[in-house]
Structure 1
Amino acid sequence: MTADRLPPPPDSRASRLEGWHHRFTRVAERARRWHWLWPPVAFAAGAASFFLVERQQWLGAALALGMLVAWVLLLTESLIARWLTHRGYPALPRGITTFIAQMVHQETLFFTLPFLLATTVWTSGQALFTALMVGLALLSILDPLYYRLAARHRWLYFAFHAQCVFLVVLVTLPTVLHLTTGESLIIALIAMMVFSLPSLMQLLRPMNTARWLAMLVLLPLLAGLGWLGRAWVPPASLWLSGHALSPGFDEQTRTPEGGLRLTPQALAAHGLYAYTAIHAPRGLEEKVVHEWRHEGRLIDRIPLQIQGGREAGYRAWTHKRHFPEEASGRWRVDVMTASGQRIGVLRFRVSDTPEQATLADGRIRLPVGLPGLDLRRLIARPAEAP
């Protein structure tokens, strides 16, 4: 007489994983009904981080850190899915994973837009970069185009993904880790190069030895081109909150003073002060440079050291005493990071005719763009030390 063999006990761990799988799928399906809310929520979070970065440093950093955590989850999703399927557990449907990726892409683009809009020098090539990022943000909310990109043009989809990685690293590291804009840019370019790998693999399929070698050449070339074009990338943590030209300067109060028509004779007698107030996150120390240019040609390069945290911006100035004999023409002072990203620009004209020469009157002017609108006045300010 033989006893019937009992069925093996169910794998409790597999049951729990399947239960979590079904719950997560249901939550994702319900969230898809409200996906239109996500872009404005992400934009509001980015604006809150931007406005609160000096008032409530910990809150601004927490929002930026949450942005990084979302990316870690997205980047590990494919690894988790492979781990589950390798052990016989079901993975999430591709439609759900694409929807999650879309939400993270929307979060990235709309979170970083306030930083880009504030730090873009709109009279330079940075305007094209920011306009392109606005275009990508709009693409991320147009479901037919986004899902067509994800399904039919995988190499472009992965390139889109790599660009989002570049943005999130560029914007969050100065706030969370107090890295300089140059250090953040280098790390962002490396991250973009790594996450461009799937895009190149899709573009060069089927892979063979020659195409592997081509990809190994294209990746550093891509990073090199990004570095060469760094002047077109806004320094997402620095912006010019005020600037002035003046013949005199009160170093005790750090304010420009006096007035002068910029004729060659006046410059030879008095020189010229270029005053800039540069906003930076609290805790960030950054080297910046005033580059004096005449008709586009570099004449002088004067380095400065700034510290972040002051509401009205760190007040810095340079005094140029010696001008060329032929000083007439168009001048500008480019305010640059040490790594070569433009923070702002001051323009003036020198002429023998006083009526055509710029008046350097010491008046502090606001830049064009979001800092010029000074929306931070809508939020109550803490007491500020002089």
Structure 2
Amino acid sequence: MDYCKNIIAKFISAMQKRPGLLAVLAFLSGVASFALVDRKESFSQVIAIFLLISWLWLIIDNWLRDKVEEKFGVAVSPNVMRFALQMVQQESLFFALPFFLAVTQWDHPQAFFTSLIALCAVISVIDPFYYKKLAKNRTLFSVFHNFALFVVLLVTLPILLNLTTSQSLAAALVTAVVVTLPSLNNLMPNARWWRFPILVFILCALSTAVWQLRSYVPPAALRLTDITLAHEVDLQHKKPVGSIKQLDSYTLHHQGLYSWTAVKAPRGLNEKIFHVWLHNKEEVDRITLNINGGRELGYRAWTHKVNFPSDSVGKWQVKVVTESGQLIGLTKFTVTP
């Protein structure tokens, strides 16, 4: 038993001296899992399960420490719990980051969400800021804790349960709050009773706000591998003929446009997506597509639009969005007189 305690103590000491090492390992595991998910490897599911078990362990920490002390007579230091909490948050944030970096449209407001994940990941590594600034503000620290869990759930739920993007987002929001609540006693020791209902209200309010702004959350389970506008589609090879970025109004009205997309849903999702046509930033049409993931280059589908406004001159966009309004990707074209 003493030998095990020494090993654990040495590991914790080594990780505390090199906090960046754990973050690098977590980020690499995220990159590896992202690549493995694309190939439907079961190892990615193992990583996802491990992360969720680590969060469950945080919930039962007090009970577990009491049982260990009762059975083996070994008192686990609170410093171990504090380090474990930081380690799980680091693992979650850096694991999820590659998934969001791969799907984020950086000219869209969803870039703020991915940047927030990256910022939180960096904060979790910088011990002076993490412990002296963040951890001392219990309310902010609880929100940080909740956000780390929410982010990792957005990635792991589709991997494990094959949920659609909308289902994953809703489930992640609810689960993050429910799982955070039992941890509040650890996050806010010796806090007055009235702080807990206030914090619950804050977490619920933030979850509601995220749902209302869900178009800002990149869909971690979906990735647009290609989007092309063309006048024709090769039905035999299922690919567009040419690519259009600019055309005149006469051609647009007489030939219309095909919007050809390849959306990758590597875990075999059944997803409803939409081609949203915008003229000078105003929506003029929304066409539905049902996709099934798993193809190496993405699920290939297209829509053909022939009805355009009489005054169609100007800047156009075709957005590919999920049922919950999350942006998968977009393309732009210009119509001249």
TM-score above 0.5, yes or no: yes
> What residue in structure 1 maps to residue 29 of structure 2?
45
> What residue in structure 1 maps to residue 262 of structure 2?
277
Cα deviations by residue, 1:328-362 (Å, 9 ceiling, x for unpaired) = 1111111001111110011111111xxxxxxxxxx
Question: Residues 32 and 226 from structure 1, CA distance in 2 versus in 1: closer, same or farther, beyond 3 angstroms?
Answer: same
1:235 aligns with 2:219: yes
Check the 8 A contact 1:282/1:307 in 2, yes or no: no
1:172 aligns with 2:156: yes
Matched AA of 2:256 = G
> What residue in structure 1 maps to residue 335 of structure 2?
350
1:110 aligns with 2:103: no
1:144 aligns with 2:128: yes
CA distance in 2: counterparts of 1:151 and 1:126, whole angstroms: 27
Check the 8 A contact 2:113/2:216 in 1, yes or no: yes
Check the 8 A contact 2:93/2:148 in 1, yes or no: yes
The answer to which of 251-260 and 312-321 deviates more is: 251-260
Aligned Cα root-mean-square deviation (Å)? 2.7
1:335 aligns with 2:290: no
Question: Residues 244 and 112 from structure 1, CA distance in 2 versus in 1: closer, same or farther, beyond 3 angstroms?
Answer: same
CA distance in 1: counterparts of 2:112 and 2:40, whole angstroms: 32
CA distance in 1: counterparts of 2:200 and 2:128, whole angstroms: 34
CA distance in 1: counterparts of 2:199 and 2:16, whole angstroms: 37
Matched AA of 2:89 = H
What is the number of residues matched between the two proteins? 332
Check the 8 A contact 2:228/2:243 in 1, yes or no: no
Question: Residues 259 and 28 from structure 1, CA distance in 2 versus in 1: closer, same or farther, beyond 3 angstroms?
Answer: closer
CA distance in 2: counterparts of 1:124 and 1:79, whole angstroms: 45
Check the 8 A contact 1:282/1:310 in 2, yes or no: no
Question: Residues 151 and 168 from structure 1, CA distance in 2 versus in 1: closer, same or farther, beyond 3 angstroms?
Answer: closer
CA distance in 2: counterparts of 1:308 and 1:134, whole angstroms: 28
1:293 aligns with 2:288: no
1:98 aligns with 2:82: yes
Partner SS state of residue 122, structure 1: coil
Check the 8 A contact 2:93/2:121 in 1, yes or no: yes
Shift of 1:67: 2.1
> What residue in structure 1 maps to residue 229 of structure 2?
245
Question: Residues 68 and 274 from structure 1, CA distance in 2 versus in 1: closer, same or farther, beyond 3 angstroms?
Answer: same
CA distance in 2: counterparts of 1:43 and 1:351, whole angstroms: 46
Check the 8 A contact 2:219/2:327 in 1, yes or no: yes
Partner SS state of residue 60, structure 2: helix
Check the 8 A contact 1:241/1:277 in 2, yes or no: yes
1:120 aligns with 2:80: no
Cα deviations by residue, 1:295-353 (Å, 9 ceiling, x for unpaired) = 1211111111111111211111111010010111111111001111110011111111x
Choose the corresponding residue for 1:157, options 123, 129, 141: 141
CA distance in 2: counterparts of 1:158 and 1:220, whole angstroms: 12
Matched AA of 1:254 = K
Question: Residues 102 and 225 from structure 1, CA distance in 2 versus in 1: closer, same or farther, beyond 3 angstroms?
Answer: same
Shift of 1:45: 0.8
Check the 8 A contact 1:175/1:281 in 2, yes or no: no
Q: Which runs of 5+ in 2 are unaligned?
A: none
CA distance in 2: counterparts of 1:33 and 1:271, whole angstroms: 62
Matched AA of 1:96 = V
> What residue in structure 1 maps to residue 62 of structure 2?
78
> What residue in structure 2 maps to residue 29 of structure 1?
13
The answer to which of 29-38 and 296-305 deviates more is: 29-38
Cα deviations by residue, 1:100-148 (Å, 9 ceiling, x for unpaired) = 1111111111111110100111110111111111111111111111111
CA distance in 2: counterparts of 1:327 and 1:154, whole angstroms: 54
Shift of 1:70: 2.2
Matched AA of 1:268 = H
Shift of 1:194: 3.0
Matched AA of 2:41 = Q
The answer to which of 50-59 and 129-138 deviates more is: 50-59
Shift of 1:196: 5.5
Matched AA of 1:248 = E
Question: Residues 60 and 87 from structure 1, CA distance in 2 versus in 1: closer, same or farther, beyond 3 angstroms?
Answer: closer
Partner SS state of residue 156, structure 1: helix
Question: Residues 294 and 48 from structure 1, CA distance in 2 versus in 1: closer, same or farther, beyond 3 angstroms?
Answer: same
Aligned sequence identity (%): 39
Partner SS state of residue 53, structure 1: helix
CA distance in 2: counterparts of 1:76 and 1:338, whole angstroms: 36
Shift of 1:90: 5.5
CA distance in 2: counterparts of 1:116 and 1:82, whole angstroms: 39
Check the 8 A contact 2:215/2:325 in 1, yes or no: yes
CA distance in 2: counterparts of 1:317 and 1:160, whole angstroms: 41
Check the 8 A contact 2:268/2:292 in 1, yes or no: yes
Check the 8 A contact 1:25/1:92 in 2, yes or no: no
Structure with bigger gyration radius: 1
Matched AA of 2:307 = H
Check the 8 A contact 2:59/2:179 in 1, yes or no: no
Calculate the TM-score normalised by the size of structure 2.
0.89
1:54 aligns with 2:33: no
Calculate the TM-score normalised by the size of structure 1.
0.78
Check the 8 A contact 1:246/1:258 in 2, yes or no: yes
Partner SS state of residue 340, structure 1: coil
Question: Residues 21 and 76 from structure 1, CA distance in 2 versus in 1: closer, same or farther, beyond 3 angstroms?
Answer: farther
